[in-house]
A and B are shown apart, each in its own frame.
Chain A
Amino acid sequence: MSNFQRKLVAICSFLLFCVAIISNKSLAQGTRTVSGTIVNSQTGEPVSGATVSANNSKRGTSTDEKGHFKLTVNQGGALLISSVGYDQQEIMPGADGIVTIKLVSNNQQLSDVVVVGYGTRKKATLTGAIATIDSKIFQDRGPTANPLAALQGQVPGVVVTRSAAAPGREGWNFQIRGATSTNGSDPLVIVDGIPLVSLNALNSINPNDIDNMSFLKDASAAIYGARAAGGVVLITTKKAKTGKPTVQYDGSVSFKKIGLQPHLINVKQFGQGLVDGTTNDYYGVAPTSFIWYKFGQLQLNAPDSGYLDMNVTYNMDWATGKLTYVGTPTTPSSNPANPGFGDVKDFTFFNTNWVDALWGSTTSTQHNISLSSRTDKAGYRLSLGYMDDGSLLQWGDNSNKRYNMRLSNDYSFSDKFKLETIISLEKNDIVQPTQAGAVLGQYQQPGLPIATKLGQPYGWGTQYSPNWLAALGGDQNEYNTRIFANMRATYSFTKHLRLIGQGGYNWNITDIKTQQKTINNWYNYAGYQKGSPDNPSQQNSFYSRQLIKDPYYNLNAYLEYQNTFKGVHDLGITVGTNYERDELNSYTARTNYIANDNVPSLNLGIGDATTKSVTESQSHYAIGSYFGRLNYAYNNKYLFEANARYDGSSKFAAADRWKLFYGFSAGWRIMQEKFMKEVTFLDDLKLRASFGTVGNQSGINLYDYLQLLNVSSNTTGATNNGFPIIGTGTVVYAAPTANLVSLNRTWEKVQTKNLGLDFTVLKNHLSGSFDYFIKDNINMLLGQQFPAVLGATAPSLNLGHLRTHGWEALLSWRDNIGKFNYHISATITDNNNKLISYSANNVIGAGYNAAVQGYPVGSYFGLQYAGRIQDQKTRDAYRLLAPGNNISMPLTTATLPGVRMGDNMFVDQNKDGKLTTPADLVYLGRDDPRYTYAANLGAEWKGFDFSATFQGVGKRTIFREGNWRVPFGSIFQGQTDFWVGKTWTPNNTGAYYPVLSVGQNGTSYNNYNYQVSSWSVENGAYIRLKNLVLGYTIPQQIMQKVKIQKLRIYFSGNDLWEVTHIRDGWDPEATRSVGRANNESTFSRYPFYRYITFGVNVTF
């Protein structure tokens, strides 16, 4: 051990000073000539144009068309061979100076070994549905906040979606093989054998450190038992590779600009919309005394100066819009030109485009440097990473900085004992304006300026410019620190039997400091008068501090036995045990009414006790497990695997704590059969099948089996009347929580079945695989309504059966035309699901439904569109469906017209003579994407490389929640222009949108026309150029002179182009809730971006 410690100390000091490696060995003198042939390891074909260099001289050459080369080298020097598309190799030529080198195609690299649960398997003998990707996928992408960002469309069966783009808050979600449960079933992500506690940790991992990822999609995940229902992702980080010490630097700078965003209407469109819309809402009679009509008139007839000071008198003829300047001083509220806004000082008519004003371009950079070396006994790799992700938001402080350090080290003490350690430090600092919500809410109404004439914050009544709220309202600083220590010891008893023990400790700390500053200077446009009251006032200023500590450890050990009997029976057995535990711990302290904004501190709250609060939360869980796997292969032809895990969880009472999960799979390598020898066009063919059961405990809370009690005490003083007085003071009381203890429910059990085919044909040029799967969540946890006499909120119960089935295909072609190497690959994934049974309620509501029997989870239901009312006869007949409706359809009465020409019509499905929900609802589609696909094209020629990735979704239905999708959905706020010029009028009967309404005069036309229906849902299908890369590797002959092994420069672009059918202006990847104000997903409003990156890769 001391040897190892010395080694560690040496490396650590090396780290601390961060000195570049200078390899300065003494060189053997004298030269000799080496010649050889370089071939593809798999096909045996010669590799032309490969670079051959000597590691101890500046000489280098490249291979000819037959793969031959000849090079003079210094004595004792090794040869370094590299070629695009192949792994670099270093060999020491023998005494005869003749070598044959087999280069491994890096596309095929993983065909050798695939990381699986607790071990590795040869790809050729895999029987499960396991997809893999390698580090290449993360290259050339520019700053990548989350590795998932690079995976869109890349892995068959894995659907990656995004919901937000704010720096540090990018919302990346992924599902393996579609929905598994309405309770969620995030894939289990395991990094170097240790699970991540939360997928948030992916935000701080450096994608540049990832060597490969395996996705266990079927019963092969059963070795992870109770948490494998959503599939398992195994991330393996980079280790030192064989060869001499190398230093690698990758750096890039990216320009980021906002992507698709709704266009906002301008002052004139706003004014015209108000005038037309209010006139429509008043049934064709211009309501000249109505505030919003007047406001519209004012916008339409605004003075050229764009400014009306209400402190001087104007006369306004509201019917004609004629505005005259009088100039006598007056009070703003009684100014004849004021439509009736009592609290404003002026009116402004500037064509401020809030999208442009708030959002803009930015720059992001990243730098990664790694040092690695390997000797016979030891290898180490140190990598340092830095990323600075800039902000599209142009006001206030907003950024995401990531610092990564990862050291992986292995040392063989003897032939029998090997120790590997990985230590990683990840720091992730996120800054955003405390009042980011103001920016991400609905924009201000058209006309308001960005600043006053004098450059001050502009306030209009109770409307405050969002840019100033962001800029002056204080910052929220979030500091994430994650430390991973991972140790793995291997002891080989014999050649066949090994014991592997692993311990991992993750230490996550998040420290959040939030300050809300007082802003007390809001001016009118001229800048001489306060336009609005203080906001936030000093009383509402606050400072809060939240500290979240989340330590987690995992201990596992397993025995691995591997042997071959009589040359044909391959047997492998793995048995092990695992224990893991997480302790979440956080407290939040907050004080309002800060003495001085310049010194935010918990010590400087000057309010009374009710302005201060401290809360704490703590929880923990543990899982104990036994697991095992048995592999048997006969003659490499018939393959069989069984795996199982017996899991115990602290979430359950001792009696039902333990559960067994298992999987079986088999494979048949058909090409190994004698009768296939004649089939020459086929290179490889394998049939796979599996079934198994995995668990999901996501619907279960931590202590569900125990009745929890709330203790309530009055912390807010006399103004809280919830606490009775007993004696002379108010009492504390305790009571069981509203949630019932759930003893009779258990983990969701998901049965998976998979059938797969892998093939390689046409001299290994074309390869592919196809998988078909069925997943049955046979006891999905769903809610059930009980009679009220229960007296409590019932837990969800194992009531549902969800079946998900789908397929995925991967096809890849690789060839070369002379020195022009190219490859094309495509993946497509689909899954469909259906809630087969739900033994309790089956209630359908209009809009999004999480679970309805007979339909996919996340289904939309709505009315069926029946066209637009274009003639009076149709209208009169259709009006008869209004009495008794519950869909906001206006009634025709003695005084009200009801639906009008140009309004939408919907189908009375059940023909009961009235439009009602749920009776007249039809299924409109599902929110989860279907037919997700990607195509990758790549080529290399004379040092140039090119690749492009197109990614898309074939089918998706979105119904946008919130009022952005409705014209004047919120009359006093900014809105998108999708409807401008496209609403029905007698002169434009072919318009896409119905008659304009602004929802005033008590009308419900907008609610009626724009409700969820086959007309109002959006088509979420799209195709997008996800990534484009053009690179050039400077010829080695040149770089050798400056002691650089390899230098590559590249340009890449992300999300450069797309085709979308979305009508409301949002990005096709945006969520259904992006338009909903003030909800949990406010950050989904943060615009998606496009990236242009220039980067360099250098290897010394």
Chain B
Amino acid sequence: MSAVTVLIAVTQYSCNKKLDLKPLDQLSDASYWQTPNDFMLAANQFYTYQRTFTDVQQDNPHSDGRSDFGGINAFSRGVNTVPTTDGIWNNNYSNNGSLPTGAWSRIRVINYLLAKAAAYSSPADIKKYVAEAKFFRAYIYFDLLQLYGAVPLVTKPLGTSSAELLAPRASRDSIADFIIADLNAAIPDLPLESANAATDKGRVTKGSAQAFLSRVALYEGTWQKFRSGSTARYNALLDLAIASSNAVITSNEYALFAPAALGDSAQKYMFILENQKSNPAGIQKSANKEYIQANRYDQAIRQIRFNVSHTGFPGFSRRGANLYLCNDGLPIEKSPLFQGYASMVAEFANRDNRMRYTMKKAGGYYWSGNNNWHINWDWSAPDLANADASPWKPYANSTSGYGGQKFVSERQVPDNEEGEDYPVIRYAEILLNYAEAVFERNGAITDADLDKSLNPVRNRVNKTMPKLSNAFVSTNGLDMRREIRRERTIELVGEGFRTDDLKRWHNAFGGPDFGADSEDPLIGSNVMLQTVLGIKWMGTEFQTAWPSQSATPKYSSGNPFLDGTLVLDAARSFSEKNYLLPIPTTQLQLNPNLTQNPGW
């Protein structure tokens, strides 16, 4: 009998070998994770997770369209409801299941690489890709933190019986700490931008991680500060924000894009910089040292495939437009240079140059697309003749009377084929992060720190505008916090910061009282409850040029900078619960330990 047993054992062993079949036309764990290149290819996918134009120009969570600036949708109104599923929390995939688009499926793919890396024989060879994985894990968790607040913490690839499936949310602090820890772990193993090989251009660098850390620390630090968090906690976070933004600044790896040839239009042309001639000076992408991390496009090899030039970024509103300083450095309420609203172009006079290069001015010439391109870049007659719907009529195709030109390519390029890069992180933000973090940490900021951070941003295209300084603030009765926030809002408008800034400042609804008018878009306390307003119509040129708006309600509150404007939306009911998105209901059913966000 034992002979039979032995016989069966032997044949079964040999049979087992005959039954060990591995996939023939597809990679699997059996054949992968064996060289650094394998890890690099796996890390490459993470670059599809970066934000891009659709995130800020369509109705997506970080878009300015969900802020007070012209956003008229369920989210900006605060009337969104609890969904059964949503595209971020749920496991969604595109490209026939090969590309994760939901946050948790992205986290799984990242965790998968990290788990495989932990078992890799020579970790030193793949540390760069491990660092990239950690950067992107932090990137995704930060998105979850901003949108949902505290979420469950998943740090390894799960199976169907993993306990984490039924885990409650981790604390908000532990999620923030986890993000910070991932970034801190990534920083030492990432190369400096200048040390990044030409073939690696576009990969995450040390600067990317440090810059992102400053964004995270400032976000969480101010979130806690304006919600009565622990002082020690938020001061530590603000210190981290200062240290990490300072590290980026002192690395001297980056610079604001300000070629003399482009003068005061440098910032505008940075956003549409392509390797084809895309600006009057023919400057190319290689001249741009400002983008710390970019989602890179190119007409010849990777088109944006989104009608970025004709979508434009979501609405401008009166309240947003009023934030641009006059070129004496003073707000319109205080500046003698402000020309009022009588003509359609009056408000553009004597303002921060970014106003006329970001918004569109009545009677101006703007180019876009395949038919209305900037032919000679010299504003000569053929150029002007080829401009789009020229001269521009604000009332032609607009509800607010305002238009924007950020990211609108001026060269001849068919729709969807534009190739400008999307700035995932740019240096100007880091400078502004530094200024704000220093101020919020210390309640004050020195002129030296302002000159190191905020003033270069402001003066890039406003060479003659006075610098922001403590003296200037006190002389003119300004508020330093308000001015720092103003600079950030103006510089980063349309790039997906406004909504998130209002949330962390806690001034979308019921925020801290800084003694300002609660309608104040910068330090007011109920910003998202305010009516969305368009151009001033009553008693202005618009009244005759745009008679169809006569039936539109007009604003009236006794504020001369707002009265008589078009009321675009008065149905605003943003409340405390709207600071976070609700968790999709099916997820609460599937995991009874998962709690809904407060108020939902």
Footprint of B on A, CB under 8 Å? Answer: 577, 579, 581, 616-624, 626, 648-650, 654, 657-658, 702-703, 706-712, 714, 717-744, 784-795, 797
Contact = CB atoms under 8 A, between A and B. Distances in A.
B89 A718 contact: no
Interface in B39-93: 41-42, 44-45, 47-48, 50, 89-91, 93
Contact of A790 (B91, B94, B586): B91
B102 interface: yes
A725 B301 contact: yes
A789 B165 CA distance: 6
Majority DSSP secondary structure for residues of A touching B: mixed
The residue in B20, B22, B158, B587 that gathers the most chain A C-beta atoms within 10 A of its C-beta is B158
Contact of A724 (B105, B160, B202, B303): B202
B12 A648 contact: yes
Interface stretch (B28-36, B380-388, B391-399, B428-436): B28-36
Nearest to B416: A719
A735 B19 contact: no
Contacts of B203: 726
A738 B417 contact: no
A657 B18 CA distance: 12
Given A718-B298, A735-B42, A740 B19 contact: no
A725 B587 CA distance: 35
A727 B203 CA distance: 8
Chain B CB within 10 Å, residue with most, of A703, A785, A792: A792
B547 interface: no
Interface string B94-109: 1101111010111111
Contact of A579 (B18, B152, B201): B18
Contacts of A733: 41-42, 44-45, 47-48
Contacts of B306: 721
B139 to A, nearest CB: 14
B2 interface: no
Given A581-B18, A737-B98, A785-B590, 17 more contacts: A579-B15, A620-B21, A624-B16, A626-B8, A703-B21, A707-B28, A708-B26, A710-B98, A712-B99, A720-B305, A721-B304, A728-B201, A733-B42, A784-B160, A789-B152, A791-B109, A791-B111
Given A719-B303, A788-B90, A791-B105, A726 B201 contact: yes
Interface in B185-217: 197-203
Nearest to B30: A706
B475 interface: no
Contacts of A744: 159-161
B29 A727 contact: no
21 contacts: A650-B20, A654-B16, A706-B30, A708-B26, A709-B29, A709-B32, A718-B298, A724-B202, A735-B112, A736-B109, A738-B105, A739-B97, A741-B159, A743-B159, A788-B90, A789-B591, A790-B91, A790-B162, A791-B107, A791-B157, A792-B108
A788 B165 CA distance: 8
B207 to A, nearest CB: 16
Which of B12, B16, B26, B201 has the largest count of A CB atoms less than 10 A from its CB? B26
B41 A732 contact: yes
B199 A726 contact: yes
B93 A738 contact: yes
B341 interface: no
B473 to A, nearest CB: 43
A788 B104 contact: yes
Contacts of B45: 712, 733-735
Contact of A718 (B158, B417, B590): B417
B29 A648 contact: no
Nearest to B105: A791
Nearest to B198: A727
B118 to A, nearest CB: 15
B372 interface: no
Contacts of B165: 786-787, 789-790
Interface string B151-169: 0101001111110111100
Contacts of B152: 789
Given A718-B300, A724-B44, A740-B159, A706 B18 contact: no
B135 to A, nearest CB: 14
In the complex, the 3 A-B pairs of residues with the closest C-beta atoms, listed nearest first: A791-B108, A724-B47, A733-B44
Interface of B: 8, 11-12, 15-16, 18-30, 32, 38, 41-42, 44-45, 47-48, 50, 89-91, 93-95, 97-100, 102, 104-109, 111-112, 152, 154, 157-162, 164-167, 197-203, 295-306, 417, 584, 586-587, 590-591, 594
A787 B48 contact: no
Contacts of B21: 620-622, 650, 702-703
Contacts of B94: 722
A577 B201 CA distance: 60
Given A648-B16, A734-B41, A786-B160, A727 B166 contact: no
Contacts of A743: 159
A740 B30 CA distance: 15
Looking at B41, B111, B166, the one whose CB has the most chain A CB atoms below 10 A away is: B41
Contacts of A730: 301-302
B303 A708 contact: no
Nearest to B102: A788
Nearest to B109: A735
Given A726-B201, A787-B166, A789-B164, A624 B42 contact: no
Nearest to B98: A710
B23 A708 contact: yes
Contacts of B302: 714, 718, 720-721, 723-725, 730
Contacts of A739: 97
Contacts of A708: 23, 26-28
Contact of A654 (B20, B166, B591): B20
A461 to B, nearest CB: 27
A654 B102 CA distance: 34
A709 B19 contact: no
A726 B301 CA distance: 11
A792 B587 contact: no
Contacts of B42: 709, 733-735
Given A657-B16, A709-B28, A790-B165, A725 B97 contact: no
A794 B108 contact: no
Contact of A789 (B98, B158, B297): B158
A181 B567 CA distance: 62
B162 to A, nearest CB: 8
Contacts of B29: 706-707, 709
Nearest to B39: A734
A649 B26 CA distance: 20
Contacts of B25: 616-619
A708 B102 CA distance: 20
Contacts of A710: 26-27, 98
A794 B102 CA distance: 15
Contacts of A791: 91, 100, 102, 104-109, 111, 154, 157-158
Contacts of B104: 788-791
Given A622-B18, A731-B47, A785-B590, A719 B154 contact: no
B535 to A, nearest CB: 35
Contacts of A785: 586, 590
A738 B95 CA distance: 11
Contacts of B102: 788, 791
Nearest to A726: B202
Contacts of A734: 27, 32, 38, 41-42, 44-45
A724 B159 contact: no
Contacts of A658: 12
Given A579-B15, A622-B18, A721-B297, A703 B98 contact: no
Given A620-B24, A725-B301, A740 B296 contact: no
Contacts of B30: 706
Contacts of A790: 91, 104, 108, 158, 160, 162, 165
Give the interface centre of A581, A624, A787 by most chain B CB atoms within 10 Å.
Answer: A787
Contacts of A702: 21, 23
